[in-house]
Amino acid sequence: MGALDGVKVLELAGIGPGPFCGMMLADMGADVIRIDRAGSVKEFDENSPPNDIISRGRKSIGIDLKNPQGRETVLKLVETSDIFFEGFRPGVAERLGVGPDDCLKRNPALVYGRMTGWGQEGPYANAAGHDINYISLAGVLAHIGRSESGPVPPLNLVGDFGGGGMYLAFGMVCALVEARQSGQGQVVDAAMVDGAASLMSFFYGMMETGFHQQERGVNLLDTGAHFYDVYECSDGEWISLGSIEPQFYKEMLEKLELDAEEFGFQHDREKWPELKQKMAELIATKTRTEWDQLLAGTDVCYAPVLSAYEAVEHPHNVERKTFVEVAGVTQPAPAPRFSRTPGKIERPPAHPGQHSKEVLMQFGFKEEEITELLSTGAVS
């Protein structure tokens, strides 16, 4: 039994941060039903699930929201659900008849989540965009990269998943706790630009004190420092060093046999480029495996830079079961870990509409109602 066991969630199918949020909730035991477009329902083989990992753990029902019976079906599902969330542009859910007012009228205690890039209002609210745009406007992307490079997009981890899906999940669970006390639901407006900006809170504090400069690639944590960076080895692989604290820096000097006097002024920023060059030349004399044998498990604050597939096989991750296999697909296990109510991957990703009849029965629809919905195409 997961920490969210018994929580009933409706997810209007989307891409990126929405499905990631749904995965997080399902991993923690919530009963998440994904509402797919009826038009996306095709013939499928139950024994061959999709490889869309972030769609794992939930059932799928295909519903035509433009069909009055389909829309009414969604609202009936809402009546006995705890959470409903969508990722449309502002106003789309309202036009489909499943906006906040429509849903809260049926279930006043409902938590209604909205996942967008720009938010529900503002000059950009109705514009198209992607992670790279949201983290640009949030003041994040300008600070990621090296001094000699332009900004470097960090995959779509910061906007879509960190500032998007995670904040939506956090916000909705917070609202659910409050709703169970007050009996009143509310709307959670989770905008990726807001979430990404929130993730920068620490750096706004550092910039306010003058410790972090706005210039990219010259600071403690943005590859400016010689003791906090990645270095290429003789075999073309890379290692990471993060020896910030004095005792860890001292151990780094000892392990790498660096001159304590030359490298003694750890935080002299004028010396950082020169010291970094010397460290790069040193690291390039050994393979990653050789450095691993010397530094792994020490207080240098070291780790090899692993690819996704290498990470799966690393002994630390193997022992902790950080990755698991579901339906033949290797993937990250649920996180974080709970001592009494651990997370669990309930099922592999579902094909659109794979559980339509099962879901309707679960929500109390009668056999004749189900037959009619399927025959009219309101449900597929």
pLDDT digits (tens, 9 = 90+) for 97-145: 999 999 999 999 999 999 999 999 999 999 999 999 999 999 999 999 9
With 0-12 / 13-18 / 19 or more C-beta atoms within 10 angstroms meaning exposed / middle / buried, residue 123 is exposed
Q: Looking at the structure, do residues 61 and 195 belong to the same domain, yes or no?
A: yes
Q: Is the pLDDT of residue 263 over 90?
A: yes
139 and 39 within one domain: yes
Instruction: Identify whether residues 148 and 71 lie together within a single domain.
Output: yes
Whether 264 maps to a domain, the answer reads: yes
Whether residue 187 contacts residue 119, with contact meaning beta carbons closer than 8 Å, is answered with no
> Do residue 262 and residue 119 come from a single domain?
no
Sign of the Cα torsion 332, 334, 336, 342 reads negative
User: What is the three-class DSSP state of 106?
Assistant: helix
Q: Which residues contact 249 (CB under 8 A, 6 or more apart)?
A: 227, 243, 266
Contacts (Cβ under 8 Å, ≥6 apart) of 102 = 75, 94
Residue position matching structure tokens 């906040």: 100
Which amino acid would we find at residue 111? V
CATH number for the domain spanning 293: value is 3.30.1540.10
Q: Answer yes or no: do 195 and 246 share one domain.
A: no
Count of CB atoms situated within 10 Å of the CB of 87:
25
Q: What is the pLDDT of residues 154-167, one digit of tens each?
A: 999 999 999 999 99
Transcribe 243-286 into DSSP letters: --SHHHHHHHHHHHT--TTTT--TT-TTTHHHHHHHHHHHHTTS
Neighbouring C-beta atoms of residue 14, cutoff 10 Å: 17
**Residue 342 sits in the same domain as residue 275:** no
Residue 312 maps to a domain: no
Average pLDDT over residues 281-296: 98
Angle between helices 68-79 and 367-376 (to 10 degrees): 140
Report, in this order, helix, strand and coil percent for the chain, each rounded to 5: 40, 15, 45
Mean pLDDT of all residues belonging to the chain: 97
Is 75 part of any domain? yes
How far apart are alpha carbons 115 and 14 in whole angstroms? 10
Residue 313 lies in a domain: no
Supply 71's token pair. Answer: 């829309």
How confident is residue 331, by pLDDT bands cut at 50, 70 and 90? Answer: very high
Share of the chain above pLDDT 70, in %: 100
Q: Residues 18, 158: one domain? A: yes
For residue 185, the model assigns a pLDDT of: 98
Do residue 61 and residue 133 come from a single domain? yes
Number of H helices, E strands in the chain: 15, 11
pLDDT, residue 70, reads 98
Q: Which of 41, 28, 31 is nearest to 11 (CA)?
A: 31
Cα(318)–Cα(305) distance, integer angstroms: 16
Residue 318 lies in a domain: no
Q: Are residues 29 and 147 in the same domain?
A: yes
The answer for residues whose C-beta is within 8 angstroms of residue 49's C-beta and 6 or more apart is 327, 348, 349, 350, 351
What's the mean pLDDT in 308-326? 98
pLDDT tier, 296 (very low <50, low <70, confident <90, very high otherwise): very high
Catalytic residues: 130, 160
Please report whether residue 309 resides in a domain. no
Give the per-residue pLDDT at 304: 98
Is there a domain that residue 265 lies in? Answer: yes
Q: How far apart are CA 31 and CA 332, in angstroms?
A: 20
> Span 167-188, mean pLDDT?
98
Range of the domain at 137: 8-199+323-376
Radius of gyration, CA atoms only, the chain: 25
42/188 same-domain check: yes
Average pLDDT over residues 280-286: 98
Contact partners, residue 269, CB within 8 Å, separation at least 6: 218, 224
Q: For the chain, how many structural domains are there in total?
A: 2
Residues in Cβ contact with 150 at an 8 Å cutoff, skipping those fewer than 6 apart: none
pLDDT in tens, 43-65: 999 999 999 999 999 999 999 99
Residues contacting residue 341 through CB under 8 Å, at least 6 positions apart: 1, 2, 3, 5, 29
CATH of the domain at 186: 3.40.50.10540
Statement to judge: residues 45 and 190 lie in one domain = yes
pLDDT at 35 over 90: yes
Q: In the predicted model, is pLDDT for residue 1 greater than 90?
A: no
* Residue 178 predicted with pLDDT over 90: yes
In terms of domains, do 154 and 47 share one?
yes
Stated as kind and residue range, the H or E segment containing 115 is strand 111-116
Instruction: Check residue 128 and give its pLDDT.
Output: 97
pLDDT digits (tens, 9 = 90+) for 192-241: 999 999 999 999 999 999 999 999 999 999 999 999 999 999 999 999 99
115: in domain: yes
